[in-house]
Every structure is written in structure tokens, then in C-alpha cells.
């Protein structure tokens, strides 16, 4: 039908083949090398429950090849071993268990101290399953939300029955299955029943069947995460029916991980579905009726079968075929693949030659998902997953779950009993043998949970699907306590998930743009992320932009500022109550600097408040703090039961800062209103008409020059910007970006919140006591500030002067002690000095004045550096 590439050789495949079945047909027996000891591993479960068939397909590692469709032209390779998986020199590790005992990373290669760093490099290279190409471009799926009435997980007999019954009751049903319906079921009674039920279900409009859709986690709600090739579903159903079936018990005996040893369903599937026999001489160990049917499937496929089974089964076995009644497996032999097996029956042990050993010794509910939801009443189990083994029992159980008659309490009936393992590999994923568990037990790790953590058993790709119960049985038997030996906690993901899927939805990010975005691009602006906004950092030459502000005039897009209109009967009372700034006496047309403190007295934001008349206030906050400011104000209005209307105008208003010594010249030509120093002084607010655009103008100055912040309707932004730019040509105006502003504000000693400040900064640490009115009766954080006022100041933000500008973030040293850190620094053109801000810690209750910063000296100086009297600001 086609072929794919396997390590440089073409491998043909047939209709319905998986990568695993095609490779097996082509003669591949060693599919992977085990995690630690590089033991050969071959096909085993064929149902996606073990790690043995994990391969790399088209560069994507970690794929279970038994669940991966063979595809024309695909490139398939095995990940482990050197020089190859087939001839793996690293399998010497299998003879070196002494050096890689369980928990080896806690105890070997630890002396001398440098030994571990060398050993770690080797161990990291030689262990693991496959290689991840970290340069591969991710393809991150979208998230889709669905809310069916009933979600059925698993399209087997119980799941299909549940879907049919629920749909009959008028429910909207979503049924998801990891593979395709019936895909993993060998021909026989089970498959016939599934096909019949499927035919019914496919005719029902209210049932949506999603194949190749893997439920990987159940969360409170219930919320079920379903991974698909190109999307992640977040399903939020009223009820979840977990019909994930059962996995055959993983037999543990000496040699149990040799290639050629199969779980019954795997061997039957290979022979029955893919038409490939697992071997020519098979020993089939069956203690269930299902196992007997697998033996028949193999016999029909032409395999010479020796049946080891209870006498009741062997008596029904054809007289010309070989059978050992009531036998059990003792040990398997072989090097590359199994060559013989010791079977004990009665007092006798016989060695049978074989090239396949097929084991069907019982079923264990596949309950990884179910056990994530033990406390959720809306999640119920059905069929094999609920321990209702057998076709009729499964269909009946599915029907009851579909009808909503099953209680979640029934989910706990799914435990099975079997003896604890005594020898062999318990955990195939992590290479943990019974001897490892015994050793860990002797070392004192004496419960199932702690054994799991120490040995890493159950922590591999199969997530305990095969070994979880064995681990619990081991711990229960050793401790004599069911509680100590309880199953370990089940957590998502229940099935392997691509990293891309875990990141689903993460690229659905919001890019906020101001109305001037296109203009910035036209002007050659270098736009970058600033929080969730895209903003210009410069227009090519930030030093020239800086000089325009200091010497002529400049515009900047400050539309990202948080902007709030606060109105209503109690507007003034609210603002006076929450901010440390006095608002009660703020007269109309005036503005004040605003700090916002949390209840611990720490600075959370800053901005400007202005009284705009009729009892209304206009509040601005930092760009990054806008969302939090709105929530914060609303919360206080709500909690204090004040009658306030708050409109978040951040998105509806744009804002342009016009600043520089000649800013007034520019503005006065564009408005008929009086913008003289007397009519519109510093820290005033006016409503201005600027070339027909209604602006709320604030005379503020973060950059330290005469400045006007023009808040305007968003749609008028481009027209206003153009008018200002045109009028500015005569005075040499140019726009400035964030880079220029960074130096401008630094020269004024203004901090950038979160760059120069820490989360536990109260105003005193920032030298901002002037912005706090402790005379006020109350404000948020006042009690905390009073408490802290009595404590000595341990740290503060200071102005710094250097011989040479250091790296931002550089430590400040006093003798040999680090006593601070530089948070902002730059060469100041206006001052012809190297200046900065930084943290300084008190030493013996005093703050040093002379510090060292790398190979430059740092002197603590007063701020602002530039125009300390604020004459330019008030010009």
C-alpha cells in the first residue's frame, strides 16, 4: 500500500497498519532500549498501555507506535542506544546495576564532589526515551470549549451502551475514544458486540463521536481535557461516564521484559487484525476465558500453540494441540528474543522452547482517569473500568451509567486481588524490578507513595497503567497494611500528551494598540512589547528625541495610561478614603500626584488625580496597572458601600504628551483658549478644544519639562497627532519613545514602578513621604504605615552618581559586602554625568554614601538630578 522510512530502509505497510505492526512484519523485534539498563524491549501490549513501542516519527519523539498509523513517506527511528538501538554498546549498563542502583542519584558518584557533575553528563546522555528536538517549531493547538450533557470516555461496549441509552433519554452526548472505535479489539465476540452497538450509535443525531481524541485529565467541575491532533477540548459536561476498559494484568516473573513476551490482547490483535503472527511457536498462558479465545486466534493464524491454563480450559483444547493444565510461568530465557520458558505444574517444572510467550492472566480496570475523580459525584465508571467484566455485564453497566443510575461510590469497586510480585520487572517505563523495590524497602522507604518517589516506579509514560497495582501489592504485603500500600495518587495526564498540547491556547494573546499605532509605523518607530501593549521605544535615534524634549518640543503617545472617570454622590469620599493623597480639598481644575497603597502600606501604583467639575474626578494610573486599578477602586467602593460610578476610559481615550520648553508655543497656535502660565498653571486640568478635538488637558511633567497631557477621544488621535506635528515643525519638534523617556524621567529621579521598586516598598523607602498625608483620618494602608514608621529604615531607593555608567542590575558594594543594587542608570547628556537609581541597605543602622559598583565608584546623591527646583516644569 505504501512504505515509510525506518532508519534509512523502506518498510512497506498495509491497509490498517500501525507503525508498530508494519515494523514487526518487517522483522523488527527490538523496538526500544529501556531507560536505565538499555535492555531490549519489544512489542507487548499493543493497546497503548506500555512504553515498549515508543519511537520517534518525523522528529517527534515519544510516540507509541502501536497507536500511530503507518503513513507513506514518514520517517521513523528508534531513539535510544549507541551506536544504534539494535547493537547498543550501552547495554553494558545491564551488567552494572551495582553502579546504577535504585535511587543512584542520591548515593553514587557523590564523592569526590566533582564526580557527580561528570557522571551526570554521561547519565543524562545515556538514559531516557528518545531525543527532543528543542529547535522544532511548535504547533500549538487551539482550545475549544464544549458542554455536552453527558461525556462518555471510551468507545468500547460499555461506552457505546452508555451513549446509546443517554441519547435515548434526550441527552446530548459526546463520546471520545483514544483510537478509532474497535481499532484495538481483536476479532471475536467483543468486536462483534462493539460493531453492533457502534452501528446503532452512529445513527443517533444527539451523539457526537470523536475518535483519536484522548481524555488526559479530569478536574473539578467536572472539567475534562481531551487532546486531539489539532485542538484541545475543554469539556464541561453534566455527567462523565468513564468507560476506559481494562488492561491485561502485567505478569511479573524473571525475564518478563524480553522481546517476544506479549499480553494476550496484543498478540491476538497482531494476528487477528494485522495478519502478522507474533511467533511460530507460542506458549499461551491463559487464566481467563478471553485468554482462551486469544489462544484460538493464534492457533487459527497458524501458530503452534502450547496452552498453559486451568484444567477446565485445557480439556476443551483440541486433542492434537499441546496443553499443560494448571501451570504457571516461572522464568523466561533468551537474549535478543525469548527462546524458552520454564513452566511449573504440580511438582514438575518443564522448559518449553518458544519464540513467543503470550499471557492472559487477568484484567485490571484502566482507572488512571477515574482515580483523578474519586471525589466528584458527576463522574461514574462503567464496564471493565468499573470491574464489570464480561460483555453482558459491560453493556448492562454502560446502560445504567448512561441512564444516570450509577453512583460515584461504585467507582471504588474496581480493585482486583493478585499476589505481590516476587521477581522480574515491575515498571517497564522506569526499569524498576522487584529487587529494586526490595532494596528501597530495606533502605526504609516503606509505603507505596514513598517507594514511588524513590524508585520512580509508575512515573513513566504509562503512568502506572501496568505497574501501579503491583507497586501497591508489594507495599501492602511488606507493610501488612492496606493503607500503607494504597494505590498512589493519580494525576493528569493519564496518557502521554505532546508539550504543544499542554501549551494549547497560549498563543491566543491580546496585543493592545493605541489609535496611533499605524502612525508610529509610518514614522519608522521601533515598536516592542510594553506589558500587553505594543509601543514605540524609539524612532531611530533616541538621543535626538531626548534632546528635542529638553531643548525644543516633542510628542509622545501615552494613550496606554490607565484612565478613569469617577463620578457619583460619594466619588470624593471614596477617593479620599482609599488614596493617601488628600482629595477632600482638591478644587475643580486642579490635579495632584497620587500614590496607591495596599493594606500593608506597600506602593501598588501611582498616577494623577484631577477634579474636573460637577463632583467628578479624572484619575490616571500607570499603563501596566490600569486593570488592577479599576478592580481595586471598584472593590473599595463596593466594600465601603459608597455610591460611585466608575468608567474605565483607558480604551476609549487616547493621550498625547506634548512636552518641552516650546510646548506652549505649539499648543497656543492650535487652540483659541488661554494656555498661558497664569491661566493654565502646573498641576492644573482644563478642557481644551485643540483643532476641533475636545481634549482633557493635564499640565503634568513626568519628563521634567513644561508639558501637557492631552486626553482625547480615541478616534481623534491621528488627527490630533498630525496637527501637533505640523505645528511643531517650526520649533524642531520630533516624537519620542520609551527609550528617551527612560532617561528623561531618570534625570528627574522618578522611579519606574516594578523596575526600580520592589513589592514591599512603602513610601518612606521610596522617599515619597511627601505624597502621603498622615493627617488624614483614614486611607488604605495608613495603619500599616503607622506601624512601620516606628521601625528603623532598612533599605531605601537612592540617587547615584558614577564615574562610568554600570550595567543595570549591578550590585553595590561597601567594602566586600553587597549592600544594594543599581535599578536604573544612564549617561545624562543634560548633566554630563553618569547617574542612576538603586537600592541601598543600611549597615549598622546607617546608609553609606560612597560605594563601589564593579570597577566604578558610586556616590549617593540627592534627587532630582535635573532641575531640582522644578522651574522648567512650572515654566
Residue (79 or 221) nearer to another protein, CB: 221
Q: What angle do CA 158, 162, 164 make, to 5 degrees?
A: 120
Contact 558, 720 (CB under 8 A): no
**CB of 258: closest distance to another protein in angstroms?**
43
Query: Binding pattern to another protein, positions 179-218, x when CB under 8 A?
Result: ----------------------------------------
**CB of 221: closest distance to another protein in angstroms?**
4
Note whether 118 binds another protein by CB under 8 A. no
Note whether 778 binds another protein by CB under 8 A. yes
Cell of 65: 507506535
**CB of 648: closest distance to another protein in angstroms?**
8
Note whether 760 binds another protein by CB under 8 A. no
Cell of 719: 488627527
Binds another protein by CB under 8 A, chosen from 127, 293, 515, 648: 648
Q: In this structure, is the dihedral angle defined by the CA atoms of residues 306, 310, 311 and 313, taken in order, positive or negative?
A: negative
Residue (584 or 635) nearer to another protein, CB: 635
Cell of 698: 493635564
Note whether 568 binds another protein by CB under 8 A. no
Residue (481 or 778) nearer to another protein, CB: 778
For the chain, give the number of residues.
875
Binds another protein by CB under 8 A, chosen from 221, 589, 661, 669: 221
Contact 277, 24 (CB under 8 A): no
CA distance 691 to 672: 9
Query: Binding pattern to another protein, positions 577-596, x when CB under 8 A?
Result: --------------------
**CB of 184: closest distance to another protein in angstroms?**
30
Q: How many residues bind another protein (CB under 8 A)?
A: 23
**CB of 599: closest distance to another protein in angstroms?**
5
Other Cβ atoms less than 10 A from the Cβ of 463: the count is 21
Residues in 375-394 at the binding interface with another protein, rule: CB under 8 A: 375
Residue (60 or 627) nearer to another protein, CB: 627
What's the half-sphere exposure (Cβ side, CA atoms, 13 Å) at 408?
Answer: 13
CA distance 761 to 769: 12
**CB of 624: closest distance to another protein in angstroms?**
15
Q: In this structure, is the dihedral angle defined by the CA atoms of residues 837, 843, 845 and 851, taken in order, positive or negative?
A: negative
Cβ density class 26-45: b for 16+ within 10 Å, e for less: eebbbbbbbbbbbbbbbbbb
CA distance 611 to 587: 6
Binds another protein by CB under 8 A, chosen from 787, 804, 817, 849: 787
Residue (236 or 821) nearer to another protein, CB: 236
- Which one of the spans 3-11, 32-40, 628-636, 654-662 is the region binding another protein (CB under 8 A)? 628-636
Whether the bond between 493 and the residue before it is cis, its omega within 30 degrees of 0, is: yes
- Which one of the spans 189-197, 408-416, 633-641, 670-678 is the region binding another protein (CB under 8 A)? 633-641
Note whether 635 binds another protein by CB under 8 A. yes
Note whether 407 binds another protein by CB under 8 A. no
Query: Binding pattern to another protein, positions 61-100, x when CB under 8 A?
Result: ----------------------------------------
Note whether 652 binds another protein by CB under 8 A. no
Contact 695, 710 (CB under 8 A): yes
Residue (172 or 308) nearer to another protein, CB: 172
Query: Residue 812 forms beta bridges with which residues?
Result: 820
**CB of 242: closest distance to another protein in angstroms?**
17
Binds another protein by CB under 8 A, chosen from 90, 600, 731, 793: 600
Binds another protein by CB under 8 A, chosen from 639, 846, 850, 871: 639
- Which one of the spans 245-253, 402-410, 635-643, 667-675 is the region binding another protein (CB under 8 A)? 635-643
Of the candidates 104, 134, 131, the one whose C-alpha atom is nearest the C-alpha of residue 120 is 104
- Which one of the spans 262-270, 625-633, 651-659, 857-865 is the region binding another protein (CB under 8 A)? 625-633
Binds another protein by CB under 8 A, chosen from 786, 804, 807, 809: 786
Residue (640 or 843) nearer to another protein, CB: 640
Max Cα separation, the chain? Answer: 116
Residue (570 or 834) nearer to another protein, CB: 570
Note whether 784 binds another protein by CB under 8 A. yes
- Which one of the spans 121-129, 182-190, 604-612, 777-785 is the region binding another protein (CB under 8 A)? 777-785
Contact 189, 427 (CB under 8 A): no
**CB of 635: closest distance to another protein in angstroms?**
5
Binds another protein by CB under 8 A, chosen from 220, 511, 815, 832: 220
H helix runs in 360-467, sequence order: 391-403, 434-443, 448-455
**CB of 630: closest distance to another protein in angstroms?**
7
Of the candidates 703, 682, 742, the one whose C-alpha atom is nearest the C-alpha of residue 874 is 682
**Helix/strand/coil (H, E, C) string of 745-794?**
HHHCCCCCCCCCCCCCCCHHHHCCHHHCCCCCCCCCCHHHHHHHHCCCCC
Note whether 605 binds another protein by CB under 8 A. no
CA distance 101 to 105: 9
Contact 760, 565 (CB under 8 A): no
Antiparallel, parallel or unpaired: β 75-77 and 2-6: parallel
Residue (246 or 637) nearer to another protein, CB: 637
- Which one of the spans 25-33, 358-366, 782-790, 822-830 is the region binding another protein (CB under 8 A)? 782-790
Binds another protein by CB under 8 A, chosen from 82, 116, 219, 593: 219
- Which one of the spans 68-76, 123-131, 454-462, 636-644 is the region binding another protein (CB under 8 A)? 636-644
CA distance 707 to 683: 10
Note whether 630 binds another protein by CB under 8 A. yes
Note whether 776 binds another protein by CB under 8 A. no
Note whether 223 binds another protein by CB under 8 A. yes
Contact 309, 325 (CB under 8 A): yes
Residue (631 or 843) nearer to another protein, CB: 631
Residue (407 or 786) nearer to another protein, CB: 786
H helix runs in 431-541, sequence order: 434-443, 448-455, 468-479, 499-502, 517-522
Of the candidates 75, 81, 82, the one whose C-alpha atom is nearest the C-alpha of residue 31 is 81
Query: Residue 282 forms beta bridges with which residues?
Result: 305, 356
**CB of 494: closest distance to another protein in angstroms?**
17
Cell of 392: 453482558
**CB of 639: closest distance to another protein in angstroms?**
5
Binds another protein by CB under 8 A, chosen from 311, 336, 634, 643: 634
- Across the beta sheet with 616-621, the strand order is 591-597, 603-613, 616-621, 562-567, 645-648
Residue (89 or 640) nearer to another protein, CB: 640
Q: Is 545 helix (H, G, I), strand (E, B) or coil?
A: helix
Cell of 377: 459525584
Antiparallel, parallel or unpaired: β 322-325 and 304-309: parallel
CA distance 61 to 129: 8
Cell of 460: 513513566
Of the candidates 649, 657, 693, the one whose C-alpha atom is nearest the C-alpha of residue 673 is 693
Residue (316 or 787) nearer to another protein, CB: 787
> What residue ranges bind another protein (CB under 8 A)?
219-221, 223, 236, 375, 599-600, 627, 630-631, 634-636, 638-640, 648, 778, 783-784, 786-787
Amino acid at each position: 500500500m505504501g512504505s515509510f522510512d525506518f532508519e534509512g530502509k523502506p518498510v512497506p505497510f498495509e491497509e490498517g497498519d500501525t507503525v508498530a505492526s508494519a515494523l514487526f512484519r518487517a522483522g523488527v523485534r527490538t523496538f526500544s532500549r529501556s531507560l536505565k539498563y538499555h535492555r531490549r524491549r519489544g512489542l507487548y501490549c499493543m493497546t497503548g498501555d506500555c512504553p515498549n513501542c515508543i519511537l520517534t516519527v518525523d522528529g517527534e519523539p515519544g510516540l507509541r507506535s502501536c497507536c500511530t498509523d503507518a503513513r507513506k513517506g514518514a520517517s521513523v527511528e528508534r531513539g535510544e542506544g549507541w551506536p544504534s538501538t539494535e547493537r547498543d554498546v550501552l547495554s553494558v549498563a545491564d551488567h552494572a546495576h551495582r553502579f546504577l542502583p535504585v535511587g543512584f542519584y542520591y548515593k553514587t558518584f557523590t564523592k569526590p564532589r566533582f564526580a557527580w557533575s561528570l557522571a551526570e553528563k554521561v547519565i543524562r546522555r545515556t538514559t531516557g526515551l528518545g531525543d527532543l528536538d528543542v529547535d522544532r517549531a511548535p504547533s500549538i493547538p487551539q482550545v475549544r470549549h464544549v458542554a455536552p450533557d453527558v461525556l462518555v470516555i471510551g468507545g468500547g461496549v460499555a461506552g457505546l451502551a452508555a451513549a446509546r441509552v443517554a441519547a435515548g433519554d434526550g441527552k446530548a452526548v459526546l463520546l471520545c475514544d483514544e483510537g478509532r472505535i474497535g481499532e484495538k479489539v481483536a476479532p471475536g465476540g467483543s468486536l462483534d458486540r462493539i460493531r453492533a452497538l457502534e452501528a446503532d450509535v452512529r445513527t443517533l443525531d444527539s451523539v457526537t463521536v470523536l475518535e483519536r481524541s484522548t481524555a488526559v485529565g479530569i478536574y473539578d467541575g467536572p472539567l475534562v481535557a481531551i487532546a486531539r491532533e489539532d485542538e484541545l477540548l475543554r469539556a464541561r459536561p453534566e455527567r462523565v461516564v468513564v468507560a476506559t476498559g481494562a488492561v491485561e494484568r502485567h505478569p511479573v516473573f524473571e525475564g518478563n521484559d524480553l522481546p517476544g513476551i506479549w499480553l494476550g490482547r496484543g498478540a491476538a490483535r497482531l494476528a487477528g487484525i494485522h495478519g502478522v503472527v507474533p511467533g511460530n511457536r507460542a506458549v499461551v498462558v491463559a487464566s481467563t476465558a478471553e485468554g482462551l479465545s486469544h489462544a484460538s486466534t493464534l492457533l487459527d493464524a497458524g501458530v503452534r500453540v502450547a496452552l498453559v491454563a486451568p484444567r477446565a480450559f485445557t480439556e476443551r483444547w483440541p486433542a492434537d494441540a499441546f496443553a499443560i493444565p494448571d501451570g504457571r510461568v516461572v522464568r523466561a530465557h533468551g537474549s535478543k528474543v525469548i527462546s524458552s520458558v520454564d513452566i511449573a505444574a504440580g511438582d514438575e517444572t518443564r522448559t518449553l522452547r518458544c519464540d513467543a510467550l503470550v499471557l492472559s492472566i487477568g484484567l485490571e480496570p484502566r482507572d488512571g482517569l477515574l482515580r483523578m475523580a474519586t471525589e466528584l459525584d458527576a463522574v461514574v465508571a462503567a464496564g471493565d473500568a468499573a470491574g464489570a467484566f464480561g460483555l453482558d455485564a459491560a453493556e448492562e453497566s454502560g446502560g445504567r451509567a448512561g441512564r444516570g443510575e450509577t453512583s460515584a461510590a461504585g467507582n471504588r469497586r474496581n480493585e482486583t486481588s493478585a499476589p505481590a510480585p516476587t521477581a522480574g520487572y515491575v515498571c517497564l517505563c522506569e526499569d524498576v524490578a522487584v529487587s529494586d523495590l526490595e532494596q528501597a524497602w530495606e533502605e526504609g522507604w516503606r509505603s507505596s507513595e514513598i517507594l514511588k518517589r524513590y524508585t520512580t516506579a509508575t512515573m513513566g509514560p504509562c503512568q502506572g497503567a501496568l505497574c501501579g497495582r503491583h507497586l501497591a501489592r508489594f507495599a501492602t504485603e511488606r507493610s501488612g497494611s492496606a493503607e500503607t500500600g494504597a494505590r498512589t495518587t493519580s494525576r493528569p495526564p493519564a496518557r502521554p500528551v505532546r508539550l504543544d498540547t499542554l501549551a494549547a491556547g497560549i498563543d491566543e494573546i491580546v496585543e493592545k494598540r493605541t489609535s496611533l499605532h499605524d502612525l508610529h509605523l509610518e514614522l519608522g518607530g521601533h515598536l516592542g512589547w510594553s506589558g500587553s501593549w505594543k509601543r514605540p521605544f524609539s524612532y531611530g535615534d533616541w538621543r535626538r528625541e531626548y534632546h528635542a524634549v529638553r531643548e525644543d518640543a516633542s510628542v509622545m503617545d501615552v494613550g496606554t495610561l490607565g484612565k478613569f472617570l469617577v463620578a457619583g454622590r460619594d466619588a470624593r469620599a471614596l477617593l479620599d478614603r482609599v488614596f493617601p493623597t488628600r482629595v477632600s480639598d482638591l478644587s475643580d481644575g486642579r490635579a495632584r500626584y497620587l500614590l496607591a497603597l495596599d493594606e500593608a502600606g506597600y506602593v501598588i501604583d501611582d498616577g494623577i488625580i484631577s477634579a474636573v467639575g460637577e463632583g467628578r474626578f479624572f484619575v490616571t494610573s500607570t499603563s501596566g496597572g490600569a486593570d488592577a486599578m479599576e478592580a481595586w477602586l471598584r472593590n473599595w467602593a463596593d466594600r465601603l458601600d459608597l455610591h460611585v460610578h466608575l468608567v474605565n476610559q483607558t480604551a476609549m481615550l487616547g493621550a498625547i504628551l506634548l512636552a518641552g520648553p516650546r510646548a506652549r508655543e505649539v499648543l497656543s497656535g492650535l487652540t483659541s483658549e488661554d494656555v498661558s502660565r497664569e491661566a493654565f498653571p502646573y498641576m492644573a486640568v482644563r478642557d481644551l478644544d485643540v483643532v476641533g478635538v475636545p481634549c482633557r488637558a493635564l499640565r503634568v511633567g513626568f519628563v521634567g519639562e513644561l508639558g501637557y497631557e492631552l486626553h482625547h477621544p480615541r478616534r481623534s488621535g491621528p488627527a490630533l497627532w498630525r496637527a501637533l506635528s505640523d505645528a511643531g515643525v517650526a520649533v524642531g519638534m520630533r516624537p519620542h519613545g520609551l527609550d528617551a523617556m527612560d532617561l528623561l524621567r531618570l534625570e528627574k529621579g522618578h522611579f519606574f514602578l516594578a523596575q526600580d521598586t520592589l513589592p514591599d516598598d512603602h513610601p518612606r523607602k521610596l522617599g515619597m513621604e511627601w505624597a502621603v498625608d498622615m493627617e488624614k483620618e483614614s486611607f488604605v494602608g495608613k495603619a500599616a504605615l503607622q506601624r512601620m514608621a516606628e521601625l528603623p529604615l532598612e533599605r531605601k531607593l537612592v540617587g547615584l552618581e558614577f564615574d562610568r555608567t554600570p550595567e543595570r542590575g549591578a550590585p553595590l558594594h561597601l567594602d566586600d559586602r553587597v549592600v544594594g543594587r543599581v535599578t536604573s542608570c544612564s549617561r545624562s547628556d543634560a548633566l554630563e554625568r553618569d547617574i542612576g537609581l538603586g537600592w541601598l541597605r543600611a549597615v549598622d543602622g546607617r546608609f553609606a554614601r560612597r560605594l563601589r559598583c564593579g570597577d566604578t565608584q558610586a556616590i549617593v546623591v540627592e534627587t532630582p538630578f535635573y532641575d531640582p527646583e522644578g522651574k522648567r516644569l512650572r515654566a
